[in-house]
Amino acid sequence: MKRPTIKSLKEKAETMEPFEAFSWLKTMSEEYGESVKKLADKYYKRAEAIKKEKERLLAMTAIESSAYEKGYTLIGGVDEAGRGPLAGPVVAACVILPKGLLINKLNDSKKISESVRNELYETIKNEAISYGIGIVEHHIIDEINIYEATKRAMELAIGCMKQTPDFLILDAMVLNNGIHYTSVPKADEKSVSVAAASILAKVTRDRIMQKMDRVYPEYGFAQHKGYGTKAHIEAIKEKGLCPIHRRSFTKNIV
């Protein structure tokens, strides 16, 4: 019988789980030598990366697990995007994920690329038991301050959900809406539910600012999303404020 080629070994390995492929290729390396040994090592590294990612995600379910143990069943993670920018709205989201669901690459929205955020945005919306998004515009921020506007956006997000959470995980915030909650600093790094909410909020706001860039192209909103970058501040000094700038945030610029 003709011995399989290296190419055919690679093709077969691709049909297997990484650790299974590693184990199989390791036995084959005795016959094929260094080339197959290197191929086996590649699958070992892949298997280890998958294992490490699963461990990271499992660690991010600890807050949810504690809430489940207390009898809660609909656990909503809440987070916002846009507290710091000089322009545009603040956006909040609340997400209830199915118990035990681990979404590969899920993390604090600030720690992942735009392309990964966009991919996860669709996955979260498809997989979530329920989610809601709340938006509070720039002029309301000026009227009631950014902290109160953020709380309002969170309440709007929760209020529009098809299923209301019976427990909330908040990122260093306080809400008085009658729903039991825990407030955890940097919860978007520690909770899968809050990380999911951070992605929905961030992608939603970024898309709003990209639309605003087409209305006010001279400010570069598509690039900085309204944050106080050097280019943004220089544009404000040169052209003045546009309608979506937060007046309470730009007093020292104009």
pLDDT of residue 34: 84
Looking at residue 39, its pLDDT comes to: 86
Give every CB contact of residue 143 below 8 A, 6+ residues apart in sequence: none
Rounded Cα–Cα distance for residues 149 and 89 (Å) = 9
Query: How much is the pLDDT for 161?
Result: 97
Encoded amino acid at 230, one letter: K
pLDDT in tens, 189-217: 999 999 999 999 999 999 999 999 999 99
Query: Whole-angstrom Cα distance, residue 101 to residue 103?
Result: 6
Q: Where are the beta strands (DSSP E) in the chain?
A: 75-81, 90-96, 130-136, 167-170, 180-183
* Tens-place pLDDT, residues 12-46: 888 889 888 888 888 888 787 788 888 888 888 99
Q: What pLDDT does 97 receive?
A: 98
Domains of the chain in start order, with CATH, are 6-59 (no CATH), 62-249 (3.30.420.10)
Distance CA 104, CA 200 (A): 16
Instruction: Return the closest-CA partner of residue 209 out of 81, 80, 88.
Output: 88
103 near 192, Cβ under 8 Å? yes
Distance CA 160, CA 17 (A): 41
Between strands 130-136 and 167-170, the pairing is unpaired
> Please, which residues have CB within 8 angstroms of residue 100's CB and are 6 or more apart in sequence?
61
Confidence (pLDDT) at 51: 93
Question: Which residues of the chain fall below pLDDT 70?
Answer: 1
- Residue-level pLDDT at 59: 97
Closest CA to 77 of 184, 150, 202: 184
Contact 117, 132 (CB under 8 A): no
Q: How far apart are CA 69 and CA 100, in angstroms?
A: 13
> Among 126, 118, 93, which residue's Cα sits nearest to residue 195?
93
Residues 6+ apart with CB under 8 A from 118: 203
216 close to 222: Cβ distance less than 8 angstroms = no
Q: Could you tell me which residues come within 8 angstroms of residue 210 by beta carbon, excluding any fewer than 6 positions away? A: 221, 222
**pLDDT value, residue 1:** 58
Rounded distance, CA 63 to CA 59, Å?
9
Global pTM?
Answer: 0.90
User: Nearest Cα to 221, choosing from 238, 208, 237?
Assistant: 208
